[in-house]
Structure 1
Amino acid sequence: MLGRARIGLVVGDRELVGHVWLKWLKDNGLNFVMRLPKHHLLTDAHGHRHAIADLGLAEGEHRRFAQRQVDGVWGQVWVKALAGGEFLFLFGTSGLQQISQRYAKRWTIEQCFQNLKSRGFNLENSHLACHHKLRKLLALVSLAYAFCLAVGHAADRRQPIARKQQGYRATSLSRHGLDIVRQLTRPTTGAQTTANQLAERLLDWIIRQVSHYKIPVKIIG
């Protein structure tokens, strides 16, 4: 549906595994990075098979393998030992030195899904059963999320969000933007701050675009 030329990298979690899927990606020339469950075995060029738990990695230690076979497909492996006997077990074709950094980009997708399902957008609370209405709802919620994320980015550039001891932001960018938009929609709120003024200008721009392109808007009570 997207077209091969538009796909730079396919990133997936432990649910997206198996010989058929991985072989299809490789046969179609699509670079991928997948996290695999720890029970999947590695096979070297001599046909020897071993589990990642047998590598003897200490917590926080990682190893790379340029060519290993997993689920009947040859690729690159990056393994890191985590706390509690868990592992970050990555398998892919996107370049051994960058495989972990590229997989890390998936976290922004995970955050997006978590925010859409709850955390203010509450997509999972819908009881719609109609496929077409669900598509419209998902599109609207996605636009709202993108808008709040853009507002959060702009506000963070002007006044950085406070950081926790671990270095993470105390509030996510999307949540920060959502809080600003909520504040703007309150009847007694004025747009005194730069971030509020920026959000109002962005809202005005969207309204002008709707009017200019005569986008049909249907209000449903």
Structure 2
Amino acid sequence: MSVDRTTWEHGDAPLNLLVLGAVVHGFTIPLVWVALDHTGNSDTRARMWLVLRLLEALPARRWKGLVADREFIGAEWFRFLRRKGIRRAIRIRKDTVLDELSADEWFGELQPGQFRMIAERTTVFGESMRVVATRSPAGDLVIIATDFHVWETWQLYKLRWTIESTFGSQKSRGFDLERTGVTDPRRLERLFGLVTLAWLACLRVGVWRHEAKPIRVLAHGRKAMSVVRYGSEELRHVLRWVPKRISEILHVLICPFPALGQPETEVVSY
């Protein structure tokens, strides 16, 4: 699972959505969300409420874990996740105190591409956790408080970027969600739900189409388009030019996603 916010402005009205979802096929499928009535970071209560909503439908034993960026830290939040049986891989700030030293003091000498772990579990916001770190090629220090082993932590944390891919395809690179004039929080939540359903249809069709005819890979190694765009183009083509295939598309949409091996990620960001 991955949690993050997406925010934009309409005139003087800031729009701020907190979203929790499942990582599938290089994207995060939004499962629960709430429109915040303020700008800036989410608060612990809003995060807890979102997790509790999802736990009603998806028990913690079915979660691999939760990945999140530096906004999603704090003693109450970390303790809540542990009590609910949710394993964590959460990036922490470099000024976070770990056994009387800041994280920056523990890992400040790391060079790009190097990895390091504090040998024993340490206290992070009151919780006993492993702490691992690396420095990105751009020089950013990436420090993760985790309940997973070192290698698994990095594989999972790289998937955090999938929620950014989802937001991008729902907004400027796809459905242009930020062009809405809707500012009422409850209406915005309903609109986001409708956009998510349409987006999910494109993703499902794109995955199905990619299995039959893989997306072309360009010379630089990236795919010519995302699976969401691939599915969108297929849907438009069928609805406009081949209506006899609509029943085939409907069958695809009601079928579950195929079983996954290693989740697919096209972009990794620190």
Q: TM-score range by the shorter chain?
A: 0.7 to 0.9
* Equivalent position of 2:249 in the other structure: 202
The CA RMSD over aligned residues, in Å, is: 2.9
- The change in CA–CA distance for 1:28 and 1:200 in structure 2 (over 3 A counts) is closer
* Equivalent position of 2:95 in the other structure: 39
- The change in CA–CA distance for 1:165 and 1:22 in structure 2 (over 3 A counts) is farther
Amino acid across the alignment from 1:83? P
> 1:145 Cα shift?
0.8
C-alpha distance after superposition, 1:4-57 (max 9, x if no partner) = 7623222211111122222322244321111122332432xxx55552574522
Q: 1:2 aligns with which of 54, 61, 76?
A: 54
Q: Map 1:176-191 to 2 at 5 A.
A: 176-186=230-240, 189-190=241-242
* Equivalent position of 1:129 in the other structure: 183
Contiguous gaps of at least 5 residues in structure 2: 1-52, 255-270
C-alpha distance after superposition, 1:146-186 (max 9, x if no partner) = 11001111121122112245533221111111122233344
Mapped partners of 2:129, 2:202: distance in 1:
39
* Equivalent position of 1:61 in the other structure: 114
Q: Map 1:68-79 to 2 at 5 A.
A: 68-79=122-133
Is 2:67 the counterpart of 1:11?
yes
- The change in CA–CA distance for 1:30 and 1:14 in structure 2 (over 3 A counts) is same
* Equivalent position of 1:110 in the other structure: 164
For CA contacts below 8 A with separation 6 or more, give which structure has more relative contact order. 2
Mapped partners of 2:157, 2:54: distance in 1:
21
Q: Tell me, what secondary structure is at the counterpart of 1:169? A: coil
Q: 1:144 aligns with which of 183, 198, 209?
A: 198
C-alpha distance after superposition, 1:103-132 (max 9, x if no partner) = 223232221122222322122211113444
Higher Cα Rg, which structure: 1
Provide the TM-score with structure 2 as the length reference: 0.62
Task: Tell whether the 8 Å contact from 1:68 to 1:76 is kept in structure 2 after alignment.
Answer: yes
* Equivalent position of 1:213 in the other structure: none
- The change in CA–CA distance for 1:166 and 1:53 in structure 2 (over 3 A counts) is farther
Task: Tell whether the 8 Å contact from 2:95 to 2:103 is kept in structure 1 after alignment.
Answer: no
Mapped partners of 1:166, 1:61: distance in 2:
26
Task: Tell whether the 8 Å contact from 1:145 to 1:174 is kept in structure 2 after alignment.
Answer: yes
> Percent of counterpart pairs with the same letter?
28
Q: Tell me, what secondary structure is at the counterpart of 2:173? A: coil
Contiguous gaps of at least 5 residues in structure 1: 208-221
- Of stretches 157-166 and 82-91 in structure 1, the one that deviates more from structure 2 is 157-166
Mapped partners of 1:129, 1:79: distance in 2:
40
C-alpha distance after superposition, 1:50-82 (max 9, x if no partner) = 525745222111122341223333201121111
Provide the TM-score with structure 1 as the length reference: 0.74
Is 2:86 the counterpart of 1:30?
yes
Q: How many corresponding residue pairs?
A: 197
